[in-house]
Amino acid sequence: MNPVTNSLLSIVVPLYNEEDNVTLLTQKIHESLVGYNYQIVYIDDFSTDKTRKVTKALNDDKVHLIELKKNYGQSLALAAGIDYAEGEYIITMDGDLQNDPSDIPEMLSYAVNDDYDVVTGIRQKRKDSLVKKIPSKIANFLVRRVTKLNIKDNGCALKVFTKDIAKELNLYGEMHRFITLLAHLEGAQIKQVSVKHHARHAGVSKYGLERVFKVVADMMLLLFIRKYFQRPIHLFGILGVLLIMLGIGVNIYLLAVKLMGEDIGTRPLLTVGMMFILAGIQLFTIGIVMELLIRTYYESQSKRPYRVKTVSVGGKSS
């Protein structure tokens, strides 16, 4: 039997006020995955319309509905679905029918046959307004320039993950925008595939231009995690030492001025020099504390700061 159709698939779809879309989306998933072994995991993020009622009324054994107790946002809704998913391959997509389930089989074939950990979509001929396109283009540009990861469309929700990679993703806040980057940081091999994109079938978009500021904030956090998570002292310690040295330099200069007979007690530069020293000490101390926290994080949970893909013995992988 074809390993693609033999493996259990989990289609994870966060829902928020999608009462007019969920029935048609379910139908399209069924039509696109004929012959596959799959489950559909809907996560209702505390919708205020009839999304839960409509989903339950489907009476479909393949449909699993997770109801969250309050509105947590798309990242945590996605995390809840991934945690629940049982499939060997986990597919994520939006619930607004802009993603096309008919693209899933081709994407799966890359994951199964070519051994990719993540297959992500590139939306062709996007049917979105400028309000959504502009923040998306800015986000994609920032990710490419800052991380050197050449992902053309980070905002495409249609993705295929291997179970191992999906379960390792730490989604919180609004990190779903950078889920491909998070997978890359876990060592995932990534394939980009062109996919179809449709105009929203019903309902209203939940995105606006304020996403640009959220993207910048999340990007700064990811950069810190990528470069300094295991050794925060390299960031805070170096900055602290530089500030301390700068403060000492300023005070040595003022001491020389004082010895030459000038009054330095009222000079703002004295305050600046002392502030540099105090700020440097604080940054260096923060670096030490964070080093201890990271050490505790790994040692208390027996975590290792590396991932092993395969082990070969005598030329054979095990």
Query: Between 130-147 and 211-228, two packed helices, what is the crossing angle to 10 degrees?
Result: 20
Q: Which residue type does 158 have?
A: L
Lowest mean per-residue pLDDT among 190-199, 236-245, 301-310: 301-310
CA distance 95 to 100: 10
CA distance 276 to 181: 36
Sign of CA dihedral 220, 226, 229, 231: negative
Question: pLDDT confidence of 3, banded at 50, 70, 90?
Answer: low
**Does residue 196 surpass a pLDDT of 80?**
yes
pLDDT at 1: 44
pTM: 0.75
Backbone angles phi, psi at 96, to 5 degrees: -100, 10
